[in-house]
Amino acid sequence: MDISFLSDPVRVDINKELHGRPAFSLRAPARISHFAYMSGEDGGRRDRRHLEQLCDTFGVARPPKGGRHHMADFGAFFLKWERHTEFTSYTVAVKSGRDIPFTVAAAEALPSNWFQNIPGDMVVALNIELVDANDEQSKEACFAPFWHKDVAGSKVSGSRSSAWSDFRIHDDSFMRLALICDDLSENRTGRLVQRMVEVFTYGHLALMALPVARDVMAQSADIEATLKDTVAQMAGSVEGEDAELHLNSLLKLAARTEHLVAKTSFRFSAAKAYHSLVERRFQETREGRIPGSQRLSSFLERHLVPAMRTCDAASKRLAELARRVDRAAGLLRTQVELDSQRQNKALLASMNRRARVQLRLQETVEGLSVVAISYYALGIIAMALKAMKAGGVPIDVGISTGIAAPFVLLTTFLLIRRVRHAVMNSKR
């Protein structure tokens, strides 16, 4: 029965993730070299092409198309490749002979020209020695390369097996981890190695955020000082050019703050995720205490926890700084708006005064207009009366003109007022 046509397009890929990143099957004695390269989120293609070159050289099958992990037997060594979000890891395993522990690295089995050209910047290089707990000579010899006394050790896998490391980069540029295996199957040993390399890898990737946090703290202090000065100046005057200068200063601070947030948010989020993975991996190893020794988790967490708190503090300080800049900009906008409202109020008051003056002038002009029009109207009436008297009408021109004067004045006043009201109504 074929039901493949019913499947969601990503169903197969999701199922592959459940079985992805398998561990080696290992048995002591063996040695492993593990590397992590920061190749960036866009470095997947380069990493894959480089791995394909190695596979072609040894006649080994290439990794599946679109796969993010690959494990193969190259004859002289086993290689496990894993592509993560921002980094790529390579784990090389070989069977060890009677060599003194940590004198020969498993990575020496890789072609030197291929190894030297791995894309990205190496952030983790770890040599692991798997020692049989029944081999007393090898057990003693694996501690000699730890040239100082600050060595952490823990029981692992809920048995008498143990893991030891000093978490230091030695003269060969490798960190060192000794795993003394007692009564562990090949699969359990492989899973133990997988968890320990992830502890080292994720722990160091988490610590990569610490220099970023310190830089953020320094820049935040500088931004805060500038913001403090700007706000103090704003308390004085925000009129004219001063307001524009303050606004430009706040815009620069806001842009600088947002740039820091954009540049560091991923790093801080990734560090938090890596730290959670380290804690989870230690839980999975079922770590136990060895009398007289500090546990691996205690050693690592003693440095990781303060670093993560510093990153968290830097992130919170940056977020609070962004809010403070925004509040200062809001305060400046409010002050500018209040100043603008005061100017508008003064302008309206000035316009009211001008309107009153214009009204008075208009009333004065109207009064003069009434007198002037009435004067000319009375002159016309007087001329008409004189003509009537010359025509034989018995009339006294002076008395008649005097009697007509009040009526002319009233009529002229009412006529001008009506015209003014008509004009005002037409403007509405």
Q: Tokens in use for 279?
A: 């804690």
Position 403 confidence tier, pLDDT thresholds 50, 70, 90: confident
Terminus-to-terminus CA distance in the chain, angstroms?
85
Q: Do 378 and 295 share a structural domain?
A: no
Could you please report the per-residue DSSP string of 125-192? EEEEEEEETT-HHHHHHTTTT--SS--EEEE-TTSS-EEEE-----TTS-EEEEEEESS--HHHHHHH
Q: Do 374 and 337 share a structural domain?
A: no
DSSP H helices, 208-295, are 209-234, 241-284
Q: Give pLDDT, residue 241.
A: 55
Q: Do 336 and 379 share a structural domain?
A: no
pTM listed for this prediction: 0.75
Using the predicted structure, report yes or no on whether residue 423 has a pLDDT greater than 80: no
Q: Do 185 and 55 share a structural domain?
A: yes
Angle formed at CA 369 by CA 363 and CA 375, multiple of 5 degrees: 145
Position 214 confidence tier, pLDDT thresholds 50, 70, 90: very high
In the chain, the percentage of residues whose pLDDT exceeds 90 is 31
- pLDDT, tens digit, for every residue of 363-391? 676 666 777 787 778 788 878 777 777 77
Q: Do 158 and 103 share a structural domain?
A: yes
* Closest alpha carbon to 216 in 269, 263, 272: 263
Question: What whole-number distance in Å separates Cα of residue 118 and Cα of residue 48?
Answer: 10
Q: Do 365 and 217 share a structural domain?
A: no
What domain count does the chain have?
Answer: 3
Is position 274 within any domain?
yes
Number of residues that make up the chain: 428
Position 15 confidence tier, pLDDT thresholds 50, 70, 90: low
Q: Give pLDDT, residue 279.
A: 92
Query: What's the mean per-residue pLDDT of the chain?
Result: 83
Q: Give pLDDT, residue 427.
A: 57
Question: What whole-number distance in Å separates Cα of residue 339 and Cα of residue 350?
Answer: 17
Q: Give residue 158's region: left, alpha or beta (phi > 0; psi -120 to 50).
A: left
Contact 88, 34 (CB under 8 A): no
Q: Give pLDDT, residue 4.
A: 62
Question: What whole-number distance in Å separates Cα of residue 141 and Cα of residue 100?
Answer: 7
346, 377, 401 - which closes a domain: 346
Using the predicted structure, report yes or no on whether residue 362 has a pLDDT greater than 90: no
* The most confident of 60-74, 225-239, 352-366, by mean pLDDT: 60-74
Using the predicted structure, report yes or no on whether residue 187 has a pLDDT greater than 60: yes
Using the predicted structure, report yes or no on whether residue 3 has a pLDDT greater than 80: no
Is position 201 within any domain?
no
Is position 353 within any domain?
no
Q: Give pLDDT, residue 5.
A: 56
Q: Tokens in use for 123?
A: 């952030």
Per the model's pLDDT, the better-predicted residue between 324 and 100 turns out to be: 324
Q: Do 263 and 240 share a structural domain?
A: yes
Q: Do 187 and 81 share a structural domain?
A: yes
Q: Do 248 and 189 share a structural domain?
A: no
Cis peptide before 29 (omega within 30 of 0): yes
194, 218, 237 - which closes a domain: 194
Using the predicted structure, report yes or no on whether residue 11 has a pLDDT greater than 70: no
Q: Do 22 and 84 share a structural domain?
A: yes
- pLDDT, tens digit, for every residue of 288-303? 888 888 889 898 888 8
Position 9 confidence tier, pLDDT thresholds 50, 70, 90: low
In the chain, the percentage of residues whose pLDDT exceeds 70 is 89
303, 318, 346 - which closes a domain: 346
pLDDT, mean of residues 114-136:
90
CA dist list (Å): 95 to 100, 330, 404: 13, 68, 137
Position 2 confidence tier, pLDDT thresholds 50, 70, 90: low
- pLDDT, tens digit, for every residue of 335-355? 777 677 777 888 888 888 887
Q: Do 232 and 190 share a structural domain?
A: no
Contact 162, 180 (CB under 8 A): yes
**285-292: long-range pairs with CB below 8 Å, 24+:** 285/154, 285/156, 285/157, 285/163, 285/192, 285/195, 285/196, 285/199, 286/156, 286/157, 286/158, 287/154, 287/155, 287/156, 288/154, 288/155, 288/156, 288/158, 289/154, 289/155, 290/153, 290/154, 290/155, 290/162
Question: What whole-number distance in Å separates Cα of residue 34 and Cα of residue 191?
Answer: 14
Q: Tokens in use for 240?
A: 């004219």
Q: Do 144 and 86 share a structural domain?
A: yes
Q: Would the CA dihedral through 164, 168, 169, 172 be positive or negative?
A: negative
pLDDT, mean of residues 60-75:
87
Domain that holds residue 385: 360-427
